[in-house]
Amino acid sequence: MLMEINGDRLWNSLMRLAEVGAYDDPNTGLRGVNRQSLTDEDAAGRRLLVSWFTDAGLTVRIDRMGNIFGRREGSDPTAAPVMAASHIDSVATAGAFDGCLGVLGALEVVRALNERGITTHRPIEIAAFTEEEGVRFGTDMLGSAVAAGRITLEHAHDLTDRDGLRFGDELDRIGFHGPHDVRLRPPHAYVECHIEQGPVLADAGVPLGVVTGVQAISWQKITVHGRAAHAGTTPTELRVDAGLAAARIVCRVRDMVDSGDYGRLRGTVGHLRTSPGLPSVVPELAELTVDLRNPDDEHMARAEHDLADFLAELRRGQPGLTITAERMAKTHHVPFDEGVQKTISQAVEDHGLEHLSLMSGAGHDAQEIAAIAPTAMIFVRGRYDGISHNPREYSTPEDCAHGVTVLATTLLRLADQR
Amino acid sequence: MLMEINGDRLWNSLMRLAEVGAYDDPNTGLRGVNRQSLTDEDAAGRRLLVSWFTDAGLTVRIDRMGNIFGRREGSDPTAAPVMAASHIDSVATAGAFDGCLGVLGALEVVRALNERGITTHRPIEIAAFTEEEGVRFGTDMLGSAVAAGRITLEHAHDLTDRDGLRFGDELDRIGFHGPHDVRLRPPHAYVECHIEQGPVLADAGVPLGVVTGVQAISWQKITVHGRAAHAGTTPTELRVDAGLAAARIVCRVRDMVDSGDYGRLRGTVGHLRTSPGLPSVVPELAELTVDLRNPDDEHMARAEHDLADFLAELRRGQPGLTITAERMAKTHHVPFDEGVQKTISQAVEDHGLEHLSLMSGAGHDAQEIAAIAPTAMIFVRGRYDGISHNPREYSTPEDCAHGVTVLATTLLRLADQR
């Protein structure tokens, strides 16, 4: 059976939710969204979402992390539900789609099932997880990580924001500290529809992606100490140039990627800065970040090891130079369930659409739920190289509808599995 | 004839002048000097200096740039004088020696000549030039450049500081807008004693340097525009990484230096910064400065040309990348007079001291006066790798006395030349 959904209704819901926390972005001249978790704006977005869940006949349940669930009963209420979820919290300079497409897409599936009077075998649960972005309390995928048991409730509640405000207190303040147990009973399967946040689908001219997993991520902050010296008077052989060492690290990261020796490694130095930063002073200090991604944990481990070796080699080659590397973040590769991927790609084909299989470079709630249930994701193509975390973030109404149509058929089929 | 000077008196004058504009430096925990030109602190330093000039029997003359001259008459008042000068303005975080050693050293020579009742054939003029540092009004060697005719008085007076205050108005305000013609009548010879501001003498274990000239200096600001992209989702081949291009420029500058193809080239990237500077975003923008120095103008021109070629090559190799280079400063190589150098090195030998011949990497008032008179400089060794523009700047009382002793004998011999 193939489901159809109402693309206009989906789009209207996306645009309506984007008004909550909207602001005029000076950099782009566009209307952006700032709905960081547990702020007043987030609370307003949550209330709107709960009213929509209720209107769609869902039984709403809020847990002790503020995760919001909406349950549509199946013909066998004792069967484990099929779940579709994402998040509605945003970064400070967001667009309308990141996270929201997954939550409102799932809602649209429920609305479409209601219109057609379809009862599935298994219950369907849709959800919005709290603080996926991690921009306010410093840990991303926070709500889903607690729900899946990786992070404890106590730890999460004690996290504080930049102003020292506690997560638990802010949850109370906005009225979303729910009574329900936070540990999620494993669903039968979990599907998340999300914008790609990258250029692969746009570059290939394909509207949809079936996500094979989330690659391993390693963030390091590297600090290089050299010796400040006058650019005009200090002979080259007497210099200990922190900026030069930093530049060599940047080039090395790219050489490692290009070598092919580390599988499908991606490497990025996003932040690089020298001090004191004067034209005529050899840098005394350089700071840089290295972001490595790899779909394979062994390749990742070897890349990290070899980069550390290169830092040691730089140090040995230049007496007086010190280099320290501090880990900022590390997650392992999360492969998604092949059965759920197959159900998704079959749905894409049955709808006469095109898709690619691809790895997710960014983190998503799905990677937490993957620890307790068969999980996969549907990616929707983004315009402008898939720019995200920016008001320019955009997916067309057609592509959004394609993604949610595939979500609908996928959920229907999973919910009828015995 | 060999002159002797009073090293204690010299040191006391240096320490006394350093109290004017003194501040507690939080970075070093030391007492620093902040006596930027035409501030109240500079005015106080100038008044102290004028009182010392007067006490030493000098005829004081202040010109329309605020340059302060003190003249000691010779037996032939019509003969062109021998001049010894430097500056007493400072950067914001200075030590006690930069510039001051040259001015107070020349004053000590006059005091020593007075004590011995020596009359020279030629007059001796000592001077302090205005705004050598260029930190307040943006042009270094300003007072000496106007005195030597490279910059017009009108242009200099119209320069403004960060708060929009005019040089001419500030000169009036502090009461040092003198009546005397600013164009200097060419002296017979010019000698400047200065701290090295570099590590060469310290590294060689030699107290004094005879300066052969000032190398050519080229400053460029390079701006690289790429494309912001998500570090996790953007395939390497779709990236336009401004930070990587910047790092390649840094490495190339060093490779050019190491190649030996550009003579005694020095190259420094002091400032490098990426934007937006987030770990997970490929840099959209990188800014860097390139400081090139070379004792040979032809080598310098070729280095600049080849660096521009490299930027063009980077652009061609990466569609979407733009690189612009903007010239911030450019001065040509200034060779010093061999006769004056010889007089200095003979004086060093006659005093039983050691010296090296070396090129100045930094700019000095001497390079302006070199356009109108035979000129050379004496460098005095600095501690701590010759750190300067920093409260840690330090030369020992012995080394300062050695430099000024050589200055004294040099001035005496030049002033007796017919």
Distance CA A93, CA B283 (A): 17
Q: Which residues of B179-204 are buried (b: 16+ CB within 10 A; e: fewer)?
A: eeebebebbbbbbbbbbbbbbbbbee
* CB < 8 Å to B230, chain A: 197-198, 361-362, 386, 388
Local confidence band at B407 (pLDDT 50, 70, 90 cut-offs): very high
Mean pLDDT of A156-164: 95
* CB < 8 Å to A268, chain B: 231, 241, 279-282
* CB < 8 Å to B203, chain A: 238
For the stretch B129-175, pLDDT in tens is 999 998 899 888 999 999 999 999 999 999 999 899 999 999 999 99
For the stretch A18-68, pLDDT in tens is 999 999 988 789 999 999 999 999 999 999 999 999 999 999 999 999 999
**Closest chain B C-alpha to A190 CA, distance in angstroms:** 22
Instruction: Mark whether A154 and A98 lie in a shared domain.
Output: yes
- Answer whether residue A38 is part of any domain: yes
- Answer whether residue A248 is part of any domain: yes
Q: Residues A233, A236, A240, CA angle at the centre, nearest 5°?
A: 100
**Residues forming a β-bridge with B379:** B194, B209
* CB < 8 Å to A276, chain B: 270
* Peptide bond between residue A276 and the one before it cis (omega within 30 degrees of 0): yes
Minimal Cβ distance to A203: which of B238, B258, B271? B238
pLDDT value of position B162 = 87
CATH of residue A221: 3.30.70.360
Which of B308, B331, B354 is a domain's end point? B331
Does the beta-carbon distance from A272 to B268 stay under 8 Å? Answer: no
Distance CA B279, CA A290 (A): 7
Which of B302, B331, B360 is a domain's end point? B331
* CB < 8 Å to B209, chain A: none
pLDDT value of position B281 = 85
Minimal Cβ distance to A199: which of B234, B247, B268? B234
**Closest chain A C-alpha to B116 CA, distance in angstroms:** 37
CB B97 within 8 A of CB B14: yes
Q: Residues B385, B388, B392, CA angle at the centre, nearest 5°?
A: 80
Does the beta-carbon distance from B386 to A233 stay under 8 Å? Answer: yes
For the stretch B188-223, pLDDT in tens is 999 999 999 988 999 999 999 999 999 999 999 999
pLDDT value of position B156 = 97
For the stretch B225-237, pLDDT in tens is 998 888 888 889 9
- Answer whether residue A162 is part of any domain: yes
CB A227 within 8 A of CB A284: yes
* Comparison of pLDDT for B330 and B38, the residue scoring more: B38
For residue A327, is pLDDT > 90? no
Does the beta-carbon distance from A279 to B271 stay under 8 Å? Answer: yes
* Peptide bond between residue B26 and the one before it cis (omega within 30 degrees of 0): no
Does the beta-carbon distance from A197 to B291 stay under 8 Å? Answer: no
In sequence order, which ranges of A217-361 are alpha helices (DSSP H)?
242-259, 297-317, 338-350
Instruction: Mark whether B144 and B30 lie in a shared domain.
Output: yes
Instruction: Mark whether B26 and B54 lie in a shared domain.
Output: yes
In sequence order, which ranges of A178-241 are alpha helices (DSSP H)?
200-204
Does the beta-carbon distance from B279 to A250 stay under 8 Å? Answer: no
- Answer whether residue A308 is part of any domain: yes
pLDDT value of position A384 = 83
Does the beta-carbon distance from A217 to B232 stay under 8 Å? Answer: yes
Quick one: closest CA in A to B279, which residue? A270
Local confidence band at B330 (pLDDT 50, 70, 90 cut-offs): confident
* CB < 8 Å to A235, chain B: 199-200, 266
* β-strand pairing of B285-294 with B266-268: antiparallel
A-B contacts at Cβ under 8 angstroms: 210
Does the beta-carbon distance from B233 to A198 stay under 8 Å? Answer: yes
Does the beta-carbon distance from B270 to A280 stay under 8 Å? Answer: yes
Local confidence band at A303 (pLDDT 50, 70, 90 cut-offs): very high
Local confidence band at A276 (pLDDT 50, 70, 90 cut-offs): confident
Domain tally, chain A: 2
pLDDT value of position B384 = 83
Quick one: closest CA in B to A214, which residue? B232
Q: Following DSSP, what letter does each residue of A51-67 receive, concatenated?
A: HHHHHTT-EEEEBTT--
For residue A211, is pLDDT > 90? yes
Minimal Cβ distance to B232: which of A215, A246, A283? A215
Minimal Cβ distance to B279: which of A270, A277, A360? A270
For residue A155, is pLDDT > 90? yes
Q: Please report, rounded to a whole number, the percentage of residues in chain B having pLDDT higher than 90.
A: 87
Inter-CA distances, B127 with A297, B15, B102, B343, Å: 70, 19, 9, 21
* Peptide bond between residue B276 and the one before it cis (omega within 30 degrees of 0): yes
* Comparison of pLDDT for A95 and A327, the residue scoring more: A95
- Answer whether residue A19 is part of any domain: yes
Q: Please report, rounded to a whole number, the percentage of residues in chain A having pLDDT higher than 90.
A: 87
Mean pLDDT of A195-220: 94
Local confidence band at A329 (pLDDT 50, 70, 90 cut-offs): confident
Interface test with A, best of B220, B238, B254, B271 (most A CBs within 10 A): B271
CB A344 within 8 A of CB A406: yes
Two tokens at B146? 């106007």
For residue B109, is pLDDT > 90? yes
pLDDT value of position A315 = 97
Does the beta-carbon distance from B279 to A257 stay under 8 Å? Answer: no
Q: What's the domain range around B303? A: 216-331
Instruction: Mark whether A227 and A318 lie in a shared domain.
Output: yes
Distance CA A321, CA A305 (A): 20
Residue B95 neighbours by CB under 8 Å, 6+ apart: B18, B32, B33, B388, B389, B390, B391, B392, B393, B394
Does the beta-carbon distance from B234 to A385 stay under 8 Å? Answer: yes
Mean pLDDT of B48-71: 98
* CB < 8 Å to B273, chain A: 272-274, 277
Local confidence band at A100 (pLDDT 50, 70, 90 cut-offs): very high
Does the beta-carbon distance from A272 to B362 stay under 8 Å? Answer: no
Instruction: Mark whether B50 and B142 lie in a shared domain.
Output: yes
Instruction: Mark whether A160 and A252 lie in a shared domain.
Output: no
For residue B340, is pLDDT > 90? yes
Minimal Cβ distance to A236: which of B198, B243, B266? B266
Rg of the Cα atoms in chain A: 23
Whose tokens are 């005719």? That residue is B149
A249 φ, ψ (degrees, to nearest 5): -65, -45
pLDDT value of position A89 = 97
* CB < 8 Å to A229, chain B: 198-199, 385
- Answer whether residue B2 is part of any domain: no
The residue type found at B303 is A
Instruction: Mark whether B163 and B258 lie in a shared domain.
Output: no
Which of B279, B301, B331 is a domain's end point? B331
Quick one: closest CA in A to B364, which residue? A232
Instruction: Mark whether A323 and A343 lie in a shared domain.
Output: no
pLDDT value of position A386 = 83
Class of residue B10 by CB neighbours under 10 A (exposed 0-12, middle 13-18, buried 19+) = buried
Minimal Cβ distance to A231: which of B203, B268, B328? B268
pLDDT value of position B51 = 98
Interface test with B, best of A28, A215, A233 (most B CBs within 10 A): A233
Two tokens at A260? 């092919």
Does the beta-carbon distance from A293 to B231 stay under 8 Å? Answer: yes
pLDDT value of position B135 = 85
CB A68 within 8 A of CB A81: no
Instruction: Mark whether B42 and B190 lie in a shared domain.
Output: yes
Q: Please report, rounded to a whole number, the percentage of residues in chain A having pLDDT higher than 70.
A: 100
pLDDT value of position A312 = 98
pLDDT value of position B1 = 87
For residue B361, is pLDDT > 90? no
Two tokens at B233? 């989702």
Local confidence band at B125 (pLDDT 50, 70, 90 cut-offs): very high
- Answer whether residue B1 is part of any domain: no
Which H helix or E strand runs over A114?
helix A100-116
CB A386 within 8 A of CB A196: yes
Does the beta-carbon distance from B232 to A244 stay under 8 Å? Answer: no
- Answer whether residue B58 is part of any domain: yes
pLDDT value of position A81 = 98
Instruction: Mark whether A294 and A343 lie in a shared domain.
Output: no
Distance CA A165, CA A152 (A): 19
**Closest chain B C-alpha to A365 CA, distance in angstroms:** 16
Instruction: Mark whether A43 and A151 lie in a shared domain.
Output: yes
CB A121 within 8 A of CB A74: yes
Q: What is the mean pLDDT of chain A?
A: 95
Quote the strand ranges of A133-198, DSSP E: 189-195
Instruction: Mark whether A104 and A229 lie in a shared domain.
Output: no
Rg of the Cα atoms in chain B: 23
CATH of residue A109: 3.40.630.10
Inter-CA distances, A239 with A227, A230, B268, Å: 7, 9, 10
pLDDT value of position A388 = 85
